[in-house]
Structure 1
Amino acid sequence: MVKAIRVHKVGGPEVLQWEDITLPQPGPGEVLVTNRAIGLNFIDTYFRTGLYAVPQLPFVPGNEGAGEVLAVGPNVTEFKVGDRVAYVATLGSYAEERIVAVNSVVALPDAVTYEAAASMMLKGMTAEYLLHRTYKVKPGDIILVHAAAGGTGLILCQWGKALGATVIGTVGSKEKATLAKAHGADHTILYREENFPARVKEITGGKLCAVVYDGVGKDTFLPSLDCLSPFGVLASFGNASGAVEPFNLGLLGPKGSLYVTRPTLFTHIAKRETMIEMAANLFGAVASGAVTVPVNATFALQDAANAHRALESRGTTGSTVLIP
């Protein structure tokens, strides 16, 4: 018997219930992990509210964590009991222990803490595919990062800068602007006070951006198109302000033959070899110092409801982790 957060009906943060659950022994191709730290992400709120469908009720939220292997299932040779690991997987992380498929687990280098790993498996691997696969950032590119002071945003700013790009970040306050600039943003735009497409045009001298990384969604999607240079890419990877509404595809032509994509992490990590390659790239960037993962808040796992309230109020910066 272990403790976990379970959701019996979708709704507000109050539906997150602290309960006992029973886990089976790990099966073939599975490991049992004791969580030392668990990542908090906006996608957790999408499942909690019902924006994203869940396979069944009740369910345990959470997609990432880090800890040690407690047991291995039959035929598992890649990991052994006691190994330090991190994972990004389907639902089930908000628990003291969880069963994880080996294909979703990577070995955790000693140089990376559990808290950092838990806060960057989803956000950091997302930044990896956005910067290296969705649009491969190269020296001299101008990139726009929405929510630049958020968990994924701070990683995108740092890594984008390390790749030689000029980084513009949108933020909600002067404090967040200071944080984004400290993590690689060359320019910041206070989106509540300024017209961000007009400011992007001004900052770039009319050149605009090669790519916009947009985890905000509804509020920023259409104006972001006006921030792109011809053949530019809008990568919409999240819905913090709500789901993007249907739009007229014909807009993309006169605005510069633009590209729009809605990538997801789980498509990228479906192949084991790709996941290992992405994790190695991410851990290498962290080990080199090119990327640091600021864990700016921690909550006890049983206090997950308050963690969700803080996240949804835009009251958090950087990463937040839950500690069992």
Structure 2
Amino acid sequence: MVMAVRVHENGGPDVLTWEEVEVGKPGPGEVHIRHTAVGLNFIDTYFRSGLYPAPNGLPFIPGNEGAGVVLTVGEGVTHVKPGDRVAYVGPLGSYAEERLVPGDRLVVVPDGIDDKTAAGMMLKGMTAQYLLRRTFNVTSDTTLLFHAAAGGVGLIAGQWAAHLGATVIGTVGSAEKAELAKAHGYTHVINYREEDFVERVKEITGGKGCDVVYDSVGKDTYPGSLDCLKPFGLWASFGQSSGPITDFNMGLLAQKGSLFATRPTLFTYIASRSDLEMTANDLFDVVKSGVVKIEVNQEYRLADAAQAHKDLEGRKTTGTTVLIP
């Protein structure tokens, strides 16, 4: 038996319970790993609250990413072996000391990247990768707006986009977060509590608008995000930290300049093994080269996951947070 965080009923952070669970032996294609660090992400709160239903119902162990050491492998697993340092994103179940993971979801962590960094960067870092390299191919000609610039994905995306030569505009909710964003590649930072972000984007771009807006906020930034785009621009809505958008109007895309809109998810972009390896390797390369620095700004004991969720939802965290078993 090992210890894990479980959710027996949907609700606030207090529904996260610390209890014993049984892991079992790995079946065909599975790998038994011992976690050394677990990543904390906003999507974890969606599953906990019930906004996103857990695929296998209640109860469930939350958590979408982690890093650790391979203990044993099941039949047919050849790309990892006992003793390997590995990391992964999905499926649910990372808030545990040990677990079984589908072998095809694991990638070997290269030398030069420690376990805490790996655990905290897989979901956020691969999200930044697909947003900047595949959802919209950011280049030196790109002007982009990234909401929640001081968040985990935002800090990675700012550095990466700046390396690609883009003009990078970000929104934040405090002066402290504005300084953090400026230190991570953002050319312009807008404090949305003090300024109208739509008007500031128009000023910054000389009225032209942005090529792409990356929006993980949801309700509070819609439809303002659309007003920040130039004609034929792309709105990439990849999260909803302020709540879901319930009144999306397709007609606005026509009215505001024949705009494009997408609701991408990482899990679609890394569904195939080849896409997972390509995305992870691209991330590993920019981290190892120093182009992107992953800063683990908060650590909590895994047993204290409820407090970590409270701080995350209370916007008290910045950058990357990890849970330590």
CA distance in 1, matches of 2:187, 2:8: 45
CA deviations on 1:111-144 (whole Å, 9 max, x unpaired) are 1111111111110010010000100101121110
Partner residue, 2:298: 297
CA distance in 2, matches of 1:98, 1:317: 28
CA contact (8 A) 1:221 1:236 kept: no
The 5 Å alignment of 1:81-230 reads: 81-230=82-231
CA distance in 2, matches of 1:68, 1:229: 47
Partner residue, 1:9: 9
- Structure 1: gaps of 5 or more residues: none
CA distance in 2, matches of 1:122, 1:99: 18
CA distance in 2, matches of 1:188, 1:281: 27
Instruction: Report whether the alignment pairs 1:263 with 2:264.
Output: yes
CA distance in 1, matches of 2:217, 2:116: 25
- Structure 1's consecutive aligned runs of 4 or more residues displaced over 2 angstroms after TM superposition are none
| Deviation for aligned residue 1:67 | 0.7
- SS of the residue aligned with 2:213? strand
CA distance in 1, matches of 2:222, 2:119: 29
CA deviations on 1:158-215 (whole Å, 9 max, x unpaired) are 1010111010000000000000000000100001111101000001111210100111
CA deviations on 1:81-132 (whole Å, 9 max, x unpaired) are 0001000011100000111101111010011111111111110010010000
CA distance in 2, matches of 1:231, 1:33: 46
- SS of the residue aligned with 1:253? helix
Tell me which amino acid in the other structure corresponds to 1:4: A
CA deviations on 1:48-98 (whole Å, 9 max, x unpaired) are 001001122110000000011011001111110000100001110000011
CA distance in 1, matches of 2:45, 2:152: 15
- SS of the residue aligned with 1:219? helix
CA contact (8 A) 1:140 1:164 kept: yes
- Structure 2: gaps of 5 or more residues: none
CA RMSD of aligned residues (A): 0.7
Tell me which amino acid in the other structure corresponds to 2:201: V
| Deviation for aligned residue 1:2 | 0.4
| Deviation for aligned residue 1:254 | 2.2
Partner residue, 2:53: 53
| Deviation for aligned residue 1:12 | 0.7
> What is the number of residues matched between the two proteins?
324
TM-score (norm 2): 0.99
| Deviation for aligned residue 1:246 | 2.5
TM-score (norm 1): 0.99
Partner residue, 1:27: 27
CA distance in 2, matches of 1:113, 1:255: 46
